[in-house]
């Protein structure tokens, strides 16, 4: 076999990862261990989700990660009530200031705390590492003192382009924050959903595909819609990471994913596609439809929104060419 043929086969295998296997990685979570044999959350319990705009969208979107987690419990026969407590732009200081009224006062059995992104991202919201440690520790202590069990979520990622200096600077700054979250979870006997590790592993696979398929072009967004907030695939990844940390087995996670595929409002084009896809306003996709589009977009090395916008633009050109002027 010639060297060129070997390289072509290797490239085809890598491209196959983009269109098929990467979704298996996201859905199965096979690279990450499940946490125990039994589910920590029990039937009839309440789970609060405290966080920033990613958490807020995770509840507002019917297929956001908060709703997917609750649906995942349902597939296991557990009726669990969510307490949404996301706040756009919130950092750890903001979360600490409202944890009393938004979480503790509502007496959940569990709270999943997600913070860190805004602590390192924007100058007006930035919170240095030492105050971040103090704030997060205080949140855990207050919840545990109130009899609320805690799960900590590592912060996700900034952007999906390893060549973007701003995003990578923020990702580097995020490392010690996530390291502390992992350490605190161990010290305080909290459950840990290491979402950053899951996303980084998947992005590394996607970046390998990008390099093989199109050279230096920046990769399109797959897990996010804007480099920060989750796409339907990113929401699935977050939900699977949380459910795994709560103790769902691989077979239970697979069953949850199959249920999610039929969700009728996984994505509303005008609401969740960047730059508001007004021409498609009101068009809603199931998770299964979105994944089909995502698979096709991956083959073209585009994001779903890029592919849809291009398709509609071409269709409009054809309509305009075919349109006949009205009779005078």
Cα four-point dihedral sign 78, 224, 160, 169: negative
Q: How far apart are CA 244 and CA 112, in angstroms?
A: 13
**DSSP letter, residue 225:** S
7-16: average pLDDT: 40
- Answer for the pair 201, 195: CB distance below 8 angstroms, yes or no: no
Q: How confident is the model at residue 24 (pLDDT cuts 50, 70, 90)?
A: low
CB-side neighbour CA atoms (13 Å) of 5: 2
Which residues make Cβ contacts (< 8 Å) with residue 308, sequence separation at least 6? 269, 273, 277, 280, 293
Over 50: is that where the pLDDT of 8 sits?
no
Q: For residue 279, what pLDDT is reported?
A: 53
pLDDT at 217: 63
Query: Parallel, antiparallel, or unpaired for β 284-285 and 267-268?
Result: antiparallel
Annotate 11-67 with DSSP letters as a single string: HHHHHHIIIIIHHHHHHH-TTS----SS-SS-TT-EEEEEESHHHHHHHHSTTSHHH
Q: Which one, of 118, 111, 44, lies nearest residue 84 by Cα?
A: 111
Which residues are 113's β-sheet partners?
A: 50, 152
Question: Percentage helix, strand, coil, to 5, in the chain?
Answer: 60, 10, 35
With 0-12 / 13-18 / 19 or more C-beta atoms within 10 angstroms meaning exposed / middle / buried, residue 297 is buried
Q: Which domains does the chain have, with CATH numbers?
A: 29-260 (3.40.50.1110)
**Mean of pLDDT over the chain:** 82
CA distances from 237 to 60, 167, 173, 265 (A): 17, 20, 23, 17
By CB atoms closer than 10 A (0-12, 13-18, 19+), residue 7 is: exposed
In this predicted structure, the answer to whether residue 216 has a pLDDT above a threshold of 80 is no
Query: Quick one: pLDDT at residue 52?
Result: 96
Tokens standing for 91? 């950092």
List pLDDT tens digits, range 68-95.
Answer: 999 999 999 999 999 999 999 999 999 9
**Inter-residue contact 148 to 108 (CB < 8 Å):** yes
- Whole-number percent of the chain with pLDDT over 90: 51
Compute the half-sphere exposure of residue 326: CA atoms within 13 Å on the CB side of its CA. Answer: 1
Q: What is the per-residue pLDDT for 69? A: 98
Which stretch of DSSP H or E encloses residue 199? helix 195-214
Does residue 29 surpass a pLDDT of 50?
Answer: no
* Cβ neighbours of residue 160 closer than 8 Å, sequence gap 6 or more: 203, 206, 219, 220, 221, 222, 223, 224, 227
Please give the Cα distance from 5 to 61 (Å, whole number): 46
User: pLDDT class for 12, splitting at 50, 70, 90?
Assistant: very low
């Amino acid at each position: 076999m010639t060297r060129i043929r070997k390289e072509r086969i290797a490239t085809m295998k890598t491209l196959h990862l983009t269109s098929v296997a990467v979704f298996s990685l996201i859905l199965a979570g096979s690279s990450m261990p499940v946490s125990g044999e039994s589910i920590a959350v029990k039937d009839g319990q309440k789970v609060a989700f405290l966080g920033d705009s990613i958490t807020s969208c995770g509840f507002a979107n019917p297929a956001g990660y908060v709703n997917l987690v609750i649906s995942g419990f349902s597939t296991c026969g557990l009726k669990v009530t969510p307490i949404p407590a996301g706040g756009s732009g919130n950092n750890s200081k903001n979360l600490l200031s409202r944890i009393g009224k938004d979480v503790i006062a509502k007496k959940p059995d569990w709270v999943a705390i997600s913070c860190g992104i805004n602590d390192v991202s924007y100058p007006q919201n930035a919170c240095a590492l030492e105050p971040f440690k103090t704030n997060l520790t205080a949140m855990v202590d207050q919840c545990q003192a109130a009899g609320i069990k805690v799960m900590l979520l590592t912060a996700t990622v900034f952007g999906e382009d390893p060549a973007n200096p701003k995003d990578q600077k923020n990702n580097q700054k995020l490392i010690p924050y996530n390291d502390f979250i992992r350490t605190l979870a161990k010290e305080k006997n909290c459950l840990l959903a290491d979402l950053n590790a899951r996303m980084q592993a998947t992005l590394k696979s996607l970046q390998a595909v990008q390099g093989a398929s199109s050279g230096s072009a920046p990769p399109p967004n797959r897990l996010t819609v804007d480099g920060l907030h989750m796409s339907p695939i990113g929401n699935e990844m977050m939900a699977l990471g949380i459910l795994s940390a709560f103790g769902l087995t691989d077979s239970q996670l697979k069953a949850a994913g199959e249920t999610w595929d039929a969700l009728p409002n996984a994505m509303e084009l005008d609401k969740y596609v960047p730059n508001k896809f007004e021409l498609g306003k009101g068009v809603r996709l199931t998770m299964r439809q979105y994944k089909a589009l995502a698979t096709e977009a991956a083959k073209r090395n585009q994001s779903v929104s890029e592919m849809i916008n291009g398709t509609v633009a071409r269709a409009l050109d054809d309509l305009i060419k075919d349109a006949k002027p009205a009779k005078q």
